[in-house]
Chains A and B, each alone.
Chain A
Amino acid sequence: DARVTQTPRHKVTEMGQEVTMRCQPILGHNTVFWYRQTMMQGLELLAYFRNRAPLDDSGMPKDRFSAEMPDATLATLKIQPSEPRDSAVYFCGTSRENSPLHFGNGTRLTVT
């Protein structure tokens, strides 16, 4: 089965540090979504890209979060500087036309 690969699976860092999360889309999938999951808010859309171009990043705190797709095989989500309230599980999902969204196993981020 084709899978979305996310790294790292777990990240513990101190407040103020930079965090980079990576996602490798399923081959042939041209749309990449970043979601954040917390107990309080559930699943929130942070940003998404199609054909490497950002379509919507209105869910991201602009001052500290950034999302990019350096190439078709890699999407990144960066937080700089990180804060304890950023602690969550971050999911990458990918899809293509007429195909449902497939998710990776997530990056569990803990900011102390």
Chain B
Amino acid sequence: GDSVTQMEGPVTLSEEAFLTINCTYTATGYPSLFWYVQYPGEGLQLLLKATKADDKGSNKGFEATYRKETTSFHLEKGSVQVSDSAVYFCALSANSGNTPLVFGKGTRLSVIA
């Protein structure tokens, strides 16, 4: 079945450092790919998405590019802030919406001042 693998955390960075969280997937067909973020005590919020190969999703300084050839969707940010501290989940679904998401295990990011 479909699956998502993302790098284990926790990841600890200093403020203004560059962030990469790796995500690779296994799926039949052409899934849509997502990054969700979870702040303490809250639900998951959609951070960005890409629905086809070579699409780049971006939001709040975060970016990820749908790479079909490497089945990857790595999350990047050029300069992290303390407020970015959260758990980040990579996920896929069979289409752009309305079907179940398959999640990775999550990567906890801590940014220190």
Question: Residues of A at under 8 Å CB distance from B?
Answer: 4, 6, 30-31, 33, 42-43, 45, 48, 50, 56, 91, 93, 95-106
Indicate if the CB atoms of B89 and A102 lie closer than 8 Å.
no
* B49 touches which of A50, A93, A100, A102 (Cβ 8 Å): A100
Question: Residues of B at under 8 Å CB distance from A?
Answer: 34, 36, 41-46, 49, 89, 93, 96-98, 100-106
Secondary structure at chain A's binding surface: helix, strand, loop or mixed? strand
Minimum Cβ distance to chain B for residue A53 (Å)? 14
Indicate if the CB atoms of B44 and A91 lie closer than 8 Å.
yes
Expressed in whole angstroms, the Cα–Cα distance for A93 and B45 within the complex equals: 10
List residues of chain A with CB within 8 A of the CB of B100.
Answer: 33, 45, 48, 56
Minimum Cβ distance to chain A for residue B27 (Å)? 15
Expressed in whole angstroms, the Cα–Cα distance for A104 and B43 within the complex equals: 6
22 interchain pairs, CB-CB under 8 A? A31-B98, A33-B100, A42-B103, A42-B106, A43-B89, A45-B102, A48-B100, A91-B43, A95-B97, A96-B98, A97-B97, A99-B98, A100-B34, A100-B46, A100-B49, A100-B96, A101-B97, A102-B46, A103-B43, A103-B44, A104-B43, A105-B43
Indicate if the CB atoms of A95 and B98 lie closer than 8 Å.
yes
